[in-house]
């Protein structure tokens, strides 16, 4: 570049604040830097040397500093992060971000494969195997090719807006190549390369910060920095593994085609993929993946197997939060030996007494483990665990560490005695009971302080009402000092400001912040409130489905078991627990109090199944359907609130007639049941068109 070409020599143009030449130069720099970044971070074949890259970046930065109008959100300079945010905004995913069902061996895999083919009533479906990257899932929306928003998975339906942070990841294109669809969402996994993990931790320790336990935690810690300039310092990377929402300008037929397209548009796609026709081929791919595992610069915890055809994927749909069309084959868990120092018992928010093990800290698969879950009383007896024993600890992915067995009975101290499970609640001393089916020891005292403290902590937790300042300690203090004795009291605390300030370690600022956070939590959504109530088995996802169906707290309270069961993903246990919960007078009073205190969110989009002509109707299918399998038809009918039974009776509303119908058709004709064909069934389900006799 000659001196004359340098932007510093360009005179300002009187008509426009930014001279044309500067605009052109900035555009050229952006293209060059982007090109160099793609070659370096995505294609792994750098062409520009570091000094040249730096010079171009510096020039672009100074141009943008002189002419701020020049800045665009897709400029490579935007990767350096921006001013700290005060929190992350919530993002509603356009399509839910699903999770994956796990299998741990060949038998489990074969089972999944058999079920999948049976669902579709076919006997073959090509598959694709991919590495299961152990990082965190991110969805990125591109608008006209420009990165617009990036969100975490969150609970699958709503995530956190981490756009500023994701922009700093070098391998994430800020702008896709021109042929990308104008509305596009890409999904993938953000991770921290193993090689960068150790140096990051050394740096943290030098600055007096706690070390991260593994690359996955460091990736998620790095992405959740409120100050994205901090994220920019972390060498994060990302692999895309699927399309999310996409406009209809391109329609890839298969997952492999989708991956190639993402690559074409400039996305970083993992190289290691294997096509497989049979389970033998899948097993061979898994064997290969575990062989190369140690040579990779990122952690993987298994292989993901996906049905390749996107049409079949769509037909398979999902059950709960797992797609039927994919499964994760998890690598065996990592194990280590250590000493079981002591067994403790916790009282949970539903009264369950859960034992846990305090361990001599030990490294298991790169993570220091100091605690393990012991599930219940029976498990301690079955494994004959005693304090002081040498034990084998196991950790698999995200799962809480577990004790597999005693390492060796010979090493046991001769004086050790079997563990005596407390016969009374460690918190309130009430005699406990043992549930017959679940082998859970419970404290049934609804006034038990420990239970209420846990409930309060859960109520205020981040994924529930998100009340900052109401953590473990405050959740203990407030009930113990008599400030709250039920959940509704939280919203009465503002009347006690002066008393609260007098509490040890609280002080005016803390109290005001807490009261403010409580005030803010009033506008939390219905699913969050329902989840926050801490009803056994009601997680944030089931809370979401229930809220969508009923729309407000009063309607949920009145829901019958049948109505709840008709919701896809809600099983008999949740349905009956929910009904039992709302049948209790004290819980009815709680709902009443909350509503009176103004905590009465409503879901804007309840699915008015009542109005759908499938809701509450009984169907019988006879013969073979052409466009969908029976399982699919059954699933779709169920989603709309209907039910499929196997025999025709007077109660049957519709008999669906396929090819080669059986005797059910005759019976339907005899008793005069409405007979419809597959086309009419589809119209009924999808468009709500009621067939005419
Ligand atoms: S497919 C519905 N492919 O694993 C399909 N996921 O345990 C879900 N993951 O939340 C995504 N590597 O964050 C898919 N090649 C891969 C993956 C992958 C890692 C993560 C993903 C997901 C989690 C489920």
Quick one: which H or E segment has residue 230?
helix 228-232
The predicted-structure confidence for 409-468, as pLDDT tens digits, reads as follows 787 888 889 999 899 999 999 999 887 766 788 898 888 999 999 999 999 998 899 999
Quick one: which H or E segment has residue 682?
helix 678-687
| pLDDT greater at residue 201 or residue 327 | 327
For residue 3, what pLDDT band results from cuts at 50, 70 and 90? Answer: very low
> What is the reported pLDDT for 11?
35
> What is the reported pLDDT for 49?
73
For residue 692, what pLDDT band results from cuts at 50, 70 and 90? Answer: confident
Tally Cβ neighbours within 10 Å of residue 118: 13
| pLDDT greater at residue 44 or residue 138 | 138
591 pLDDT above the threshold of 90: yes
CB 129 within 8 A of CB 282: yes
- Where do the domains of the chain lie, and which CATH numbers do they carry? 3-71 (1.10.287.610), 102-330 (3.30.470.30), 333-445 (2.40.50.140), 449-521 (1.10.150.20), 526-608 (1.10.150.20), 612-687 (3.40.50.10190)
Q: Which residues line ligand 1 (CB under 6 A)?
A: 98-100, 130, 132-133, 137, 153, 189, 241-242, 304, 323, 326, 328
Torsion angles phi and psi, residue 141, rounded to 5: -100, 130
Q: Does this model's pTM top 0.75?
A: no
> What is the reported pLDDT for 486?
93
Structure tokens given for 125:
């479906």
Strand partners, 128: 275, 306
Minimum CA distance residue for ligand 1 atom 22: 99
For residue 605, what pLDDT band results from cuts at 50, 70 and 90? Answer: low
Structure tokens given for 76:
């490579």
> What is the reported pLDDT for 16?
56
Enumerate long-range contacts of 582-590, CB under 8 Å, 24 or more apart. 582/556, 582/557, 582/558, 586/446, 586/486, 588/557, 590/486, 590/487, 590/488, 590/533
Please state the rounded mean pLDDT for residues 303-324: 92
168 pLDDT above the threshold of 60: yes
Evaluated on CA atoms 114, 117, 121, 126, the torsion sign reads: negative
14 pLDDT above the threshold of 60: no
> What is the reported pLDDT for 599?
92
For residue 310, what pLDDT band results from cuts at 50, 70 and 90? Answer: very high
Is beta strand 318-319 parallel, antiparallel or unpaired with respect to 674-677?
A: unpaired
| pLDDT greater at residue 144 or residue 437 | 144
Is 524 in a helix, a strand, or coil? coil
For residue 537, what pLDDT band results from cuts at 50, 70 and 90? Answer: confident
CA distances from 564 to 54, 261, 550 (A): 60, 41, 10
CB 100 within 8 A of CB 322: yes
CB 136 within 8 A of CB 190: yes
Lowest mean pLDDT across 396-410, 429-443, 597-611, 656-670? 597-611
CB 223 within 8 A of CB 162: yes
Please state the rounded mean pLDDT for residues 60-79: 83
Q: How far is the CA of 99 from the centre of ligand 1 (A)?
A: 7
> What is the reported pLDDT for 369?
87
Instruction: Please provide the average confidence, as pLDDT, over all residues in the chain.
Output: 88
Establish whether 650 is a catalytic residue: no
For residue 15, what pLDDT band results from cuts at 50, 70 and 90? Answer: very low
Determine the distance from the C-alpha atom of residue 375 to the mean position of all C-alpha atoms in its chain, rounded to a whole number: 24
Please state the rounded mean pLDDT for residues 656-680: 93
In the chain, pLDDT over 90 holds for what percent of residues?
Answer: 53
> What is the reported pLDDT for 470?
94
Nearest to 633 by CA among 686, 692, 572, 563: 686
Instruction: Work out which ligand 1 atom sits closest to the CA atom of 323.
Output: 2
For 189, what's the count of Cα atoms within 13 Å in the CB-facing half-sphere?
21
| pLDDT greater at residue 639 or residue 242 | 242
Pocket test for ligand 1, best of 129, 131, 132, 285 (most atoms within 8 A of CB): 132
> What is the reported pLDDT for 12?
37
Lowest mean pLDDT across 55-59, 469-473, 669-673? 55-59
CB 327 within 8 A of CB 112: yes
Minimum CA distance residue for ligand 1 atom 18: 132
Nearest to 682 by CA among 624, 618, 620, 637: 637
Nearest to 119 by CA among 626, 628, 638, 656: 628
> What is the reported pLDDT for 248?
84
Nearest to 175 by CA among 302, 276, 38, 310: 38
For residue 176, what pLDDT band results from cuts at 50, 70 and 90? Answer: very high
Catalytic residue among 35, 132, 377, 383: 132
The predicted-structure confidence for 278-302, as pLDDT tens digits, reads as follows 999 999 999 999 989 988 999 999 9
202 pLDDT above the threshold of 90: no
Nearest to 386 by CA among 409, 354, 363: 409
Is 373 in a helix, a strand, or coil? strand
Query: Any residues with CB less than 8 A from the CB of 414 and at least 6 apart, and which?
Result: none
Q: How far is the CA of 478 from the centre of ligand 1 (A)?
A: 41
Pocket test for ligand 1, best of 96, 188, 189 (most atoms within 8 A of CB): 189
2 pLDDT above the threshold of 60: no
CB 424 within 8 A of CB 448: no
> What is the reported pLDDT for 582?
95
* DSSP string covering 405-440: EES-GGGS-TT-------SB-TTT-PBPEE-TTT--
| pLDDT greater at residue 572 or residue 439 | 572
Instruction: Work out which ligand 1 atom sits closest to the CA atom of 131.
Output: 15
Query: Any residues with CB less than 8 A from the CB of 673 and at least 6 apart, and which?
Result: 620, 648, 652, 653, 654, 655
Q: How far is the CA of 130 from the centre of ligand 1 (A)?
A: 9
Minimum CA distance residue for ligand 1 atom 23: 99
């Amino acid at each position: 570049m000659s001196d004359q070409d340098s932007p510093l020599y360009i005179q300002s143009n009187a008509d426009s604040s930014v001279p044309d030449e500067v605009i052109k130069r900035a555009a050229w720099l952006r293209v060059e830097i982007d090109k160099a970044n793609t070659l370096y971070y995505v294609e792994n074949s750098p062409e520009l040397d570091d000094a040249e890259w730096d010079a171009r970046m510096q020039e672009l930065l100074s141009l943008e500093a002189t002419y701020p109008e020049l800045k665009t959100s897709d400029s490579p300079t935007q990767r350096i992060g921006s001013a700290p945010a005060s929190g992350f905004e919530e993002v509603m995913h356009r399509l839910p971000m699903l999770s994956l069902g796990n299998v741990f061996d060949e038998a489990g895999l074969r089972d999944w494969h058999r079920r999948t083919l049976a669902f579709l009533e076919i006997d073959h479906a090509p598959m694709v195997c991919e590495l299961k990257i152990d990082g965190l899932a991110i969805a990125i929306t591109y608008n006209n090719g420009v990165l617009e928003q990036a969100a975490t998975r969150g609970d699958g339906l709503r995530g956190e807006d981490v756009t500023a942070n994701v922009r700093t990841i070098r391998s994430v294109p800020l702008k896709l190549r021109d042929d990308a669809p104008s509305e596009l969402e890409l999904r993938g996994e953000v991770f921290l390369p193993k090689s960068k993990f150790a140096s990051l931790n050394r740096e943290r320790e030098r600055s007096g910060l706690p070390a991260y336990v593994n690359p996955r935690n460091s990736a998620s810690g790095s992405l959740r920095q409120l100050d994205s300039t901090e994220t920019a310092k972390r060498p994060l990377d990302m692999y895309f593994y699927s399309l999310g929402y996409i406009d209809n300008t391109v329609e890839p037929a298969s997952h492999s085609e989708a991956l190639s397209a993402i690559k074409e548009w400039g996305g970083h796609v993992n190289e290691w993929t294997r096509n497989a026709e049979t389970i033998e081929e899948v097993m061979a791919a898994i064997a290969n993946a575990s062989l190369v595992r140690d040579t990779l610069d990122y952690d993987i915890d298994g292989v993901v197997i996906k049905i390749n055809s996107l049409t079949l994927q769509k037909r398979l749909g999902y059950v709960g939060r797992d797609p039927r069309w994919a499964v994760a084959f998890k690598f065996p868990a990592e194990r280590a030996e250590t000493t079981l120092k002591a067994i403790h018992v916790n009282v949970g928010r539903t009264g369950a007494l859960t034992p846990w093990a305090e361990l001599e800290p030990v490294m298991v698969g790169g993570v220091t483990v100091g605690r393990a879950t012991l599930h219940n009383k029976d498990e301690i007896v079955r494994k004959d665990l005693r304090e002081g024993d040498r034990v084998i600890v196991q950790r698999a992915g995200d799962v809480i560490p577990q004790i597999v067995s005693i390492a060796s009975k010979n090493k046991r101290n001769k004086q050790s005695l079997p563990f005596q499970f407390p016969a009374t609640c460690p918190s309130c001393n009430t005699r406990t009971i043992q549930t017959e089916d679940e082998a859970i020891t419970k404290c049934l005292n609804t006034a038990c302080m420990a239970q209420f403290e846990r409930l309060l902590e859960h109520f205020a937790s981040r994924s529930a009402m998100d009340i900052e300042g109401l953590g473990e300690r405050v959740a203990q203090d407030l009930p113990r000092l008599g400030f709250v004795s039920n959940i509704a009291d939280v919203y009465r605390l503002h009347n006690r400001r002066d008393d609260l300030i007098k509490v040890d370690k609280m002080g005016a600022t803390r109290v005001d912040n807490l009261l403010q956070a409580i005030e803010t939590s009033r506008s939390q959504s219905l699913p969050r409130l329902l989840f926050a109530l801490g009803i056994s088995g009601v997680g944030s996802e089931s809370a979401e489905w229930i809220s969508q169906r009923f729309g407000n707290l009063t309607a949920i309270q009145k829901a019958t078991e049948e109505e709840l069961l008709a919701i896809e993903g809600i099983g008999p246990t949740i349905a009956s627990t929910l009904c039992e919960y709302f049948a209790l007078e004290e819980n009815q009073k709680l709902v009443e109090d909350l509503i009176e205190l103004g905590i009465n969110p409503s879901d804007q989009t309840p699915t008015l199944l009542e109005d759908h002509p499938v809701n509450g109707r009984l169907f019988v299918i006879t013969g073979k359907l052409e466009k969908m399998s029976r399982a699919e038809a059954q699933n779709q009918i169920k989603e709309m609130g209907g039910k499929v039974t196997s025999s025709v009776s007077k109660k049957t509303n519709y008999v669906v007639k396929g090819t080669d119908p059986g005797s059910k058709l005759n019976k339907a004709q005899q008793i005069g049941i409405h007979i419809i064909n597959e086309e009419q069934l589809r119209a009924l389900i999808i468009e709500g068109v009621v067939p005419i006799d």
